[in-house]
Amino acid sequence: MPNFTSSFKSPTESAGLLIARIILGVVLIAHGWQKFNEWTIAGTTEAFTGMGVPAAGIAAPIAASVELVGGILILIGLVTRIAAALVALQMVGAGIWGGHFGSGIFIDGNGWELVMVMAAVAVILLAAGPGQYAADNFIFQNREADATTPVAA
């Protein structure tokens, strides 16, 4: 079974990871929600097509789902490493196929700063795990404890 939990981190390290999860999660949820509700998937597909994103009709609902669902999972700290890996891949893809890398650094010119900061935070969560204050630790540590507890005969 993959290691979804963190090795035990100090309260300070866990607080830092919690803050990173909250900020990244909220930003991702906002962007995913925007793609579903404000722009709609049809509008997001049209925007992706205009940016030259390959298979925009497939990429738009995937991007919206990864952002919304991934953001929720990261926020609560559930299967954090998997969600973070998907987010990091999507943000790098947005940089490459969304035209961000070719537009300079600043977001006001469609630059890469936002997508790469989100990718960097996702990579940190992928490497470090969610910290102590995460649903992963409550769910998966209890399962591991149950699996190692001897059963009375």
Domain assignment present for residue 126? The answer is: yes
Q: Which residue has the tokens 């205009």?
A: 50
Task: Give pLDDT, residue 2.
Answer: 56
Residue 145 has pLDDT above 70, yes or no: no
Range of the domain at 117: 11-135
Sign, CA torsion 111/113/125/19: negative
Question: Residue 143 domain-assigned?
Answer: no
- Domain-embedded: residue 5: no
Residue 140, pLDDT score: 82
**Model confidence pLDDT, tens digit, residues 75-119:** 999 999 999 999 999 999 999 988 899 999 999 998 999 999 999
Read off the pLDDT band of 151 (50, 70, 90).
Answer: low
Tally of domains within the chain: 1
Q: How many C-beta atoms surround the C-beta of residue 55 within 10 A?
A: 12
Position 41 in a domain = yes
- What is the pLDDT of the chain when averaged over all its residues? 90
Q: What is the amino acid identity at position 144? A: E
Note whether residue 6 is domain-resident: no
Q: Would 29 be classed as within a structural domain? A: yes
In-domain check, residue 73: yes
- Whether 47 has a pLDDT exceeding 70, the answer reads yes
Indicate the range of 1-5, 31-35, 36-40, 54-58 predicted with least confidence.
1-5
- Predicted pLDDT of residue 125: 97
Q: Is residue 54 part of a domain?
A: yes
